[in-house]
Copies of this chain bind each other. A is one copy, B any other.
Amino acid sequence: MDSQQRTDAPPTPNLIFEMLQAHQRTAALKAAIDLDLFRAIGDRPADVASIAQACSASPRGIRILCDFLVINGVLGKEGESYRHTPTSATFLDPRSPASLASIAQFLTNSAMREQYQNLAEIVRTGRTAMPGDGTVEPENPIWVQFAETMAPMMAPLAAPLGAVVLEGHAGPMRVLDIAAGHGLFGIEIAKQNPQAHVTGLDWAPVLRVAIENARKAGVQDRYDMLPGSAFEVNFGGPYDAVLLTNFLHHFDTATCVGLLKKVRGALKPGGRAATLEFVPNEDRVSPPMPAAFAMTMLTSTPAGDAYTLRELSAMYTEAGFSGIAAHPIPMSPHTIVMGNA
């Protein structure tokens, strides 16, 4: 996915063929997860017959699926046996604490996938073809699924985000977690600072996932819920910090600026707002993952985007923030952008 490399490469029809078949890769990984294949592979190399039995599936289907997964780097093959790769053992085996298997449910959910069946029409109109405002429609149940399934992808980001937001800050503080979802980011603040009090804001059905996670983390006594729309509820406060994770990208610039003004109004002087975003470079085509995220916003929202640092900084500035700084999270496509009230 190195665009420069590909741009300068000699012409090849294989790239066209490969792109037109790329949907098979998504389907294959989803099928393997649905069949619990990465558990069946287990600790030792396994042959087609034993995997087929463990997955209650046909030998022909398992053999072709496993070979396809090997071609795509998420299984290994030795002779007639299949084994985990480091990536599949860590991120796909359901017994791994870092397993990401559940994110397949959200990323391939039918409401999101269906949008791609007529992408040309979405490009023509310039907005999601979902009913209403798509994924940002009030109370869209998709966010319950997000909260329930995407936590494993977000969990590794929580500790870096907590460290950046707290910057060693101890003592009593109040934190508002807007679009809390699974709640992991606010919960992490509460874990890193035993005197932090966190308020999670999201749709009520989503907050049930967050409070359950707060309970599991043992911080439920310092976790309050503020159900509703970030654009409509009274934030309360004042807060020492406000988290805006995976949120601004759903909206157009004016909406983001309006929300940031409201956030600033709820912060103590010198308090900080921290957004977690996919932030492409100013060329908008690198790095691949943050840049490609704009496609998800095109298909699922009326006007969202993967904003560049310049654009995010301009929003913060217009909303009255200063000291705006970007903190890319190592080994991840995400960046924290912070501003001071």
Neighbour of A58 across the interface among B22, B86, B87, B125, CB < 8 A? B125
**Residues on B with beta carbons closer than 8 Å to the beta carbon of A295:** 24, 28, 64-65, 68
Q: Name the distance in Å between A239's Cβ and chain B's nearest Cβ.
A: 31
Q: Interface stretch among A7-15, A161-169, A243-251?
A: A7-15
CB-CB under 8 A for A298 and B61, given A21-B107, A29-B19, A73-B9: yes
Tell me the complex Cα distance, A98–B16, Å: 12
Dominant SS at the A interface? Answer: helix
**Residues on B with beta carbons closer than 8 Å to the beta carbon of A119:** 27-28, 30-31, 65
Tell me the complex Cα distance, A64–B280, Å: 12
CB–CB A64/B22 < 8 A: no
From 12 to 50 in chain A, residues with beta carbon under 8 angstroms from any chain B beta carbon are 12-31, 34-35
A70: Cβ under 8 A from any B Cβ: yes
**Residues on B with beta carbons closer than 8 Å to the beta carbon of A123:** 31, 35, 55, 57-58, 61-62, 64-65
Q: Interface stretch among A88-96, A187-195, A219-227, A267-275?
A: A88-96
Closest B-chain residue to A73, C-beta based?
B6
Q: Name the distance in Å between A136's Cβ and chain B's nearest Cβ.
A: 15
CB–CB A3/B70 < 8 A: yes
A116: Cβ under 8 A from any B Cβ: yes
CB–CB A71/B291 < 8 A: yes
**Residues on B with beta carbons closer than 8 Å to the beta carbon of A74:** 6, 15-16, 19
CB–CB A292/B71 < 8 A: yes
Q: How many copies does the complex hold?
A: 2
A294: Cβ under 8 A from any B Cβ: yes
A216: Cβ under 8 A from any B Cβ: no
Interface size class of A (residues with CB under 8 A): 35 or more
A333: Cβ under 8 A from any B Cβ: yes
CB–CB A285/B1 < 8 A: no
CB–CB B303/A60 < 8 A: yes
Tell me the complex Cα distance, A6–B295, Å: 26
Q: Interface centre among A64, A65, A100, A292, by most B CB within 10 Å? A: A64
Tell me the complex Cα distance, A57–B15, Å: 25
Q: Name the distance in Å between A26's Cβ and chain B's nearest Cβ.
A: 4
CB–CB A91/B11 < 8 A: yes
CB–CB B72/A19 < 8 A: yes
Tell me the complex Cα distance, A66–B317, Å: 29
CB–CB A13/B153 < 8 A: yes
A59: Cβ under 8 A from any B Cβ: yes
25 A-B contact pairs sorted by A residue (CB < 8 Å): A1-B18, A9-B87, A12-B91, A13-B87, A13-B100, A15-B87, A15-B91, A16-B91, A19-B28, A19-B29, A19-B72, A20-B26, A22-B23, A22-B25, A30-B120, A35-B120, A57-B126, A60-B298, A61-B122, A61-B127, A61-B298, A65-B119, A65-B298, A68-B291, A77-B283
